[in-house]
A and B are shown apart, each in its own frame.
Chain A
Amino acid sequence: MKAGPSQEEIRRHNLGTLLRHVHIGGSMSRAVLAERMGLNRSTILGLVSELGSAGLVREELPRDTGRAGRPSLVVRPESDRVYVLAFDVGVDRLAAARIGLGGVFLDRREIPMAPGRRDAGKVAEILAGSALDMVGTAQHGTYCVGVAAAVRGMVRRPDGLVRAAPHLGWEDEEFGEDLMRRLGLGLPVSVANEASLGALAEHLRGAGTGCQDLVYLHGDIGIGGGVITGGQLLTGDCGYGGEIGHMVVNPRDGRPCGCGAHGCLEAEAGERALLETARRDPTATGREAVRAVVEAADRGDITARAALRDVGDWLGIGVANLVNVLNPRTVVFGGTLREVFLGSAAQIRSRINRLALTSSRENLRLRVGELGDDAVLIGAAELAFSEILVGPLETLARAGA
C-alpha cells in the first residue's frame, strides 16, 4: 500500500497549481488565488514568495482599479524571463515562436513554403535555425524551459515518432530527436498532432475556456481533430486518437481519401472537396480560396452555394456522429472550417438536429475558434510548458536558472 503524499510532494503540487493559475488566468491577487485553490492565505503567501524568489512570478501593483482604498498586489507570471519554443510545421508555412510564461508571444518567425513533400531534416534545420536566432536575441537571464512541435500527421506516444505525415511525405521520422540535436539546448522536443494541440489551445485559452468536453475540428489541407474529454486530451493507446478527418461518413460511393479509404470526412468535407465542387481554380488553395467560395455563395453564386451545402451536409453528419459518441459540450471549428461553418451553419445544424440523439445534442454549443491561425502554436507552447507547471522549481533548475 502506498503511503499518502509527502509534505514535499504536496508543496510541489501546490507550486505547480499556483503557477498554472497565473499562467492560464493572467495576473490575479493572492486573495483570488486562495479562493480558487481552496488554500488559506498564509499558504498562498508562502507559495508565491517561493515562486517569486525562483523568478517565475512577480508581485506588483495592478493598473488603476478606479476603486477607493489601497489596491492589493497582483501575482503575475514572469513572461519575459521564462519562455518556451513552439514550432508549427504547416502546409504552406513553417512557424516558430518564443512564447513567455502566461502565453505571451515574445518573438515569432514564419517561413513560407510551397505545399508538397519536404525533407524532415531540412524542416528541422530551418526551424532550429530560426529558433536559435530567437534564443540569441533573448536577453541575458532568460530561460527556455521547454520545446514542442506540431506536425500534421500521426505521432506516436510517448516517444514522438512521426509515423506518417502524408502531406509532407514523411514516414517514421524521428523529427523530435533531430530537432533536439540541432537545437542543442539540452531540452527534449515534444512532438504532437497539430489538431490535438489546437484542441488544447482552444480549451485553455480560446472558445472552449472552462469547458471540459470539447471537440475541435481543424481544417487546412485536410481535416484534423482533437478531443478533450473530462478536461483531458484524448490520445488513445498509442497517441493516434482523435483522427476525426478519417471518420468514414460515405463509404459506398464516397470520394477517395489520401489515406486509401473512400468517403472519409476529410475527403467529403475538406478543402479539396469544397473547391472541386465549387469548380474553383485547382491551383488556388488555402484560406483565401475557401473564403472566396463563401463570399461567392453570399453573393448568390449557385455553384458555390451548392458546394457549401454539400460540405455542410457531410460536416453535419460527422459532427452528429461525434455528438452521439462523445456528448461534447462544445464543438469548435478552426482553421478554414471557421469560414465553412459560418457559410453553411444552417446545413450543419439541421443535419445534427436530425441525426444526433436529442439528449446528447440539447446542450451542444457550436463555436468558431477564437485563436485563429495561432491556435496550433499556442497549443504547442502549452505542451512545452507542461513540465514546468508540474514541477516548477525542478524544471527551472534543469534549465540552468
Chain B
Amino acid sequence: MTATPNANPNPKPDPILRLRGIDKSFGAVQVLHDVSFDVHPGEVTALVGDNGAGKSTLVKCIGGIHSFDGGEYWFEGEQVQVHSPREAAALGVEIVYQDLALCDNLDIVQNMFLGREKRRGLVLDDATMEEMAAQTLDGLSVRTVTSIRQQVSSLSGGQRQTVAIAKAVLWNNKVVVLDEPTAALGVAQTAQVLELVRRLADNGLAVVLISHNMNDVFAVSDRIAALYLGRMAAQVSTSNVTYSQVVELITSGRSGDLGLAHTNGATA
C-alpha cells in the first residue's frame, strides 16, 4: 500500500454534518467518548461497531432524541443546537429506524404523509399527496410496489423498508440515517434495498448506513466509520481498507497504524 489508509484520496465536498467531541452518559455509564463523525453529501457513510459500541446512541443524538453532554454539532458549516427530533427534522435530518414505524392499516401514501398531510382547505389533498408519493418512488426507480394505494400490511419486508426510506426522502431531507435496513431481509430484497441506498447517495443525499453485514458495507459505502466501546476508532475511505482491517477496528479498536492509540478495553 502506497498511501496512508486514512488519507482522503481527493477533495470531496465539505461534510454536511460534522460532530466534534461528542460525550454522552446515561447515569454513571459513559456511552460516547469524544466522538467525531463526518457525513458527506453524495456519499454513503457506513457506521459499524459491535453491539454496545454506541451506534444507536450516536444516531439518536444526531436525530435529536438524546441531547449530548458535550461536543459540537455542525450542520452545513454552522454550529447548531439540536434538542428534539423536530429540530433535527427541520435541519433536514431523518432517521429510519429498524422497526420502520409504519402503520399496517394505512396505505403507502397515507404512511408517507402521516402527521404531515397536505390539505386543500379543510379536506385532505389526496391527489397532490398521491402525485408526490408516486414521483418520489419513481425518482428512486422503485418498481417493486404495484400500487401506492396498497395497504402496508400487504407488503413484504423489503417493500416496507422501501416505503420507509421513500418517506424519509419525500421531505427533501439532506441526511438520511438508516438503522440496519437489510436485517431480516432475504437476498433479493436486500439487493433492492441496497440499490435504493446507493441511489439516494448518487442523487446527492448524505446517507448513513448502520449495518453488521460487511458485504453490505463494502457493496454500497464510500466511507466506513468504526465505533469501538464508545470511541470513534477510525473513519476511513472504503477504497483504502480491507475487510480484515475493518473487522479488527470493530473488535479491537485498532488495526496496524489505524485506529485508537491505546486500547486495553478501558473505557474511562
**B243-256 contact mask (Cβ, 8 Å, vs A): 1 or 0:** 11000000000000
Q: Name the interface residues of B124-146: CB closer than 8 Å to any CB of A.
A: 128, 131, 141
B9 contacts A363, C-beta separation under 8 Å: yes
Given contacts A339-B187, A342-B190, A368-B191, contact A362 B216 (CB under 8 A): no
Is A366's CB under 8 angstroms from B242's CB? no
Is B162 among interface residues, defined by CB-CB distance under 8 A? no
Encode contact with B along A328-367: 1 for CB under 8 Å, 0 otherwise.
0000000000110111111111101110011001111011
A358-B2, A368-B191, A368-B195 as given contacts; A343 in contact with B215, CB under 8 Å: yes
Pick the residue among B141, B186, B243 that contacts A347 (CB under 8 A): B243
- The reply on B235 being an interface residue by CB < 8 A is no
Is A291 among interface residues, defined by CB-CB distance under 8 A? yes
Q: State whether B191 touches A353 (Cβ < 8 A).
A: no
A-B contact count (CB 8 A): 77
Q: Known: A350-B244, A358-B2, A362-B10. Contact between A345 and B195, CB under 8 A?
A: no
The reply to whether B191 and A295 contact each other, CB–CB distance below 8 Å, is no
B218 & A346 in contact (Cβ 8 Å cutoff): yes
* B130 → A minimal CB distance (Å): 12
Which residues in B have their C-beta under 8 angstroms from that of A368?
A: 191, 194-195, 219
Q: Which residue of chain B lies nearest to A293 when distances are taken between CB atoms in the complex?
A: B187
Contacts of A345 in B (CB 8 A): 215-219
Size of chain A's interface in residues, with CB distance under 8 A? 31
Which residue on chain B has the smallest CB distance to residue A287?
Answer: B188
Q: Is A294 an interface residue (CB 8 A)?
A: yes
Q: Closest Cβ of chain B: how far from A275's Cβ, in Å?
A: 16
Which residues of B are found within 8 Å of A348, using beta-carbon distances?
A: 218
B216 proximity list for chain A (CB < 8 A): 342, 345
**Contacts A358-B1, A358-B2 given: A344-B215 contact, CB under 8 Å?**
yes
Contacting residue for A342 out of B2, B191, B240, CB 8 A: B191
Does B160 sit within 8 A of A, measured CB to CB? no
Cβ 8 A contact of B9, one of A64, A291, A358:
A358
What string of 1s and 0s marks CB contacts (under 8 Å) between B189-227 and chain A?
A: 011001100100000000000000011111100000000
A178 interfacial contact with B, CB 8 Å: no
Give residues of chain A (154-183) contacting chain B, Cβ–Cβ below 8 Å.
none
**Which of A291, A346, A363 has a CB less than 8 Å from the CB of B188?**
A291
- With beta carbons under 8 angstroms apart, the residue of B131, B187, B237 that contacts A343 is B187
User: What's the nearest-Cβ distance from chain A to residue B9, in Å?
Assistant: 3
CA distance A378 to B128 in the complex (A): 34
- Docked Cα-Cα span, A348 to B141, in Å, equals 26
Main secondary structure of the interface of B (DSSP, over half): helix
For residue B123, CB closer than 8 A to chain A, the reply is no
Given the interface contacts A341-B219, A350-B244, A361-B239, does A291 sit within 8 Å of B187 by beta carbon?
yes
In the complex the two chains form, what is the Cα distance from A358 to B122 in whole Å? 60
Q: Which residues of B contact A276 (CB under 8 A)?
A: none
A107 interfacial by beta-carbon distance below 8 Å: no
CA–CA, A339 to B214, complex, Å?
15
Asked whether A353 and B241 contact (CB < 8 A) given A341-B219, A348-B218, the answer is yes
The answer for the CA separation of A152 and B95 in the assembled complex, in Å, is 45
Which of A66, A342, A363 has the largest count of B CB atoms less than 10 A from its CB?
A342
Instruction: Name A341's closest neighbour in chain B (CB-CB).
Output: B219
Q: Does chain A have a CB within 8 A of B3? A: yes
**Are the C-beta atoms of B243 and A346 separated by less than 8 Å?**
yes
In the complex, how many angstroms separate the beta carbon of A265 from the nearest chain B beta carbon? 20
**Residue pair B191, A367 in contact (C-beta under 8 Å):** no
The chain A residue sitting closest to B244, CB to CB, is: A350
**Alpha-carbon distance A339/B2, docked complex (angstroms):** 32
Residues of A within 8 A of B244 (CB): 350
B217 near A346 (CB under 8 angstroms)? yes
Q: Which of B1-57 contact A (CB under 8 A)?
A: 1-3, 9-10
List which B167-194 residues lie within 8 A (CB) of chain A.
186-188, 190-191, 194
B238: Cβ under 8 A from any A Cβ = yes
A370 in the interface (beta carbon within 8 A): yes
A366 to B238, CA, bound (A): 11
| Residues of A contacting B194 in the complex (Cβ-Cβ under 8 angstroms) | 342, 368
Give A364 to B222 CA distance when docked, in angstroms. 10
In B100-119, the 8 Å CB interface with A consists of: none
CB contacts (< 8 Å) of B243 on chain A: these are 346-347, 349-350
The answer to whether A370 and B187 touch across the interface, beta carbons within 8 angstroms, is no
Minimum CB–CB distance from A71 to chain B (whole Å) comes to 15
Evaluate contact between A349 and B188: CB separation under 8 angstroms: no
Q: Are B242 and A294 in contact (CB under 8 A)?
A: no
For the complex, give the distance between the alpha carbons of A64 and B186 in Å: 38
Closest B residue by C-beta to A356: B239
What is the bound-complex CA distance between A70 and B219, given in angstroms? 45
A303 to B191, CA, bound (A): 22
A364 to B244, CA, bound (A): 20
A298 at the A/B interface (Cβ < 8 Å)? yes
What separation, in Å, do the CA atoms of A367 and B195 have in the docked complex? 9
A342-B9 contact, Cβ under 8 Å, with A350-B242, A353-B241: no
CA distance A348 to B242 in the complex (A): 9
B242's partner among A291, A343, A353, A364 (CB-CB below 8 A) is A353
Closest approach, in angstroms, between the C-beta of A366 and any C-beta of chain B?
7
Give the docked Cα–Cα distance between A361 and B239 (Å). 7
A342 touches B1 (CB 8 A): no
B240 CB contacts on chain A under 8 angstroms: 353, 358, 362
Jot down 20 A-B pairs with beta carbons below 8 A, ordered by A: A64-B131, A298-B187, A298-B190, A338-B191, A342-B187, A342-B194, A343-B215, A344-B215, A345-B219, A346-B214, A346-B217, A346-B243, A348-B218, A349-B243, A352-B239, A353-B242, A354-B1, A358-B3, A358-B9, A368-B195
Query: Which 5 residue pairs spanning A and B have beta carbons closest together?
Result: A362-B9, A345-B219, A350-B242, A345-B218, A346-B243
